Amino acid sequence: MEFIAFTYVGNFMEREVIDEVVFTVFDEANRFFHESDIPLRFLYIGKLKLEPGYLINLTTPEGKIRVYPLEALVDVLHARLLREIEKNPELKMNKIFALTTFPLVSRNPYFDFYERFLGIHETRLGLRIMVLSMKPFEPEGLGELLKRTPDEDTKRLVRERLTLFKDRVLKGVLHEIGHGFGLEHCRNDCVMNSPSSMEDWDSRFPGYCDSCFINLKRAVEWSELSLGHGEGGKKF
C-alpha cells in the first residue's frame, strides 16, 4: 500500500465548514481507491499552519485578494513531507497533497507579474509535492449563507452548496492524483478531462474513464513496487 500525506492550509469561512469539506473529500477519495482495488491511501498529517507573513496581497480587477506564493508553500510542504517520512520510515510514502483555501500564485520571472494557478505539481529530490486551491470550487453565495441566521431554509441551501463544494473538490483531487501518477488530460467523461467552465465540471463523471483508470492503477502498482524496493520513503 502506498500512502500520500495530506494536509490543508488557510481559511476563508468557518473552520467547521472547511473541516467538513476537507475530511469528507479525502474520506471519499480513500473509499474510491479501496472499492477500485487501487493500493493507494491518503494519510492525514494535521493542518499546516503558516504565519500570516506567507500571505501576500494582490490587486486584481475584482479588487484586492490574499494569496499564497507557490514557491514558499512548496518549500514548507517539502520540509513537512521529509519530517513525516523520518517519523514513519516503514510507510511507502514519497508524496504530499495539500488543499489550500486561498488562491495560488507564482511570480513570472520574465515579465514581473504573478500568474494564478488552480493546482501545481513539483518534484524535489524524488519527492512529489501537489497543491490544489479550493477557492475556485466554492459555490456562489456560500459565504453569505453562512452569515445568515440558520433557519431551516438557510440550512437546506447551505447543505446543497456544501454538497456541491465537496463534489467539485473531490473531482479536483482525483484529477491532480491522476497527474501525480503520469496521467494526461483526456476527452472522455472523466475527471482527467479538463473542463471549460464550472458548469462543465459539475456535469463531469466523478471518476476515471476506463482508459485512465487502467493507466492509473498500473502506475500506482508500479510506484508501490518501486517504493518497496527502496526508491521511496525509506531512502530519504
Report whether pLDDT(60) > 60. yes
Report whether pLDDT(200) > 80. yes
pLDDT at 234: 31
| The three three-digit cell numbers of residue 99, written as one number | 488543499
Give the domain extent around 18: 2-235
Alpha carbons 97 and 117: distance in angstroms, whole number: 15
Angle at which helices 152-180 and 210-226 pack, to 10 degrees?
60
How many Cβ atoms from other residues are within 10 Å of residue 99's Cβ? Answer: 26
pLDDT at 28: 96
CATH of the domain at 143: 3.40.390.10
Mean pLDDT of 78-96: 93
pLDDT at 236: 27
Say if residues 142 and 119 touch (Cβ distance below 8 Å). Answer: no
User: What's the first-to-final CA gap in the chain, in angstroms?
Assistant: 18
Residue type, 139: P
pLDDT tens per residue across span 136-190: 888 888 777 777 777 888 888 888 889 999 999 999 999 999 999 999 999 999 9
Report whether pLDDT(114) > 70. no
Residue 233's pLDDT band (cuts 50, 70, 90): very low
> Which value, to the nearest 10 degrees, does the dihedral of the CA atoms of residues 76, 78, 83, 86 take?
-170
List residues with catalytic annotation. 176
Alpha carbons 57 and 213: distance in angstroms, whole number: 40
Angle at which helices 15-35 and 152-180 pack, to 10 degrees?
50
Q: What is the C-alpha R_g of the chain?
A: 18
- Compute φ and ψ for 175, nearest 5 degrees: -60, -50
What kind and span of H or E run contains 129? strand 127-133
Alpha carbons 79 and 236: distance in angstroms, whole number: 11
Per the structure, the count of domains in the chain is: 1
Residue 118's DSSP bridge partners are: none
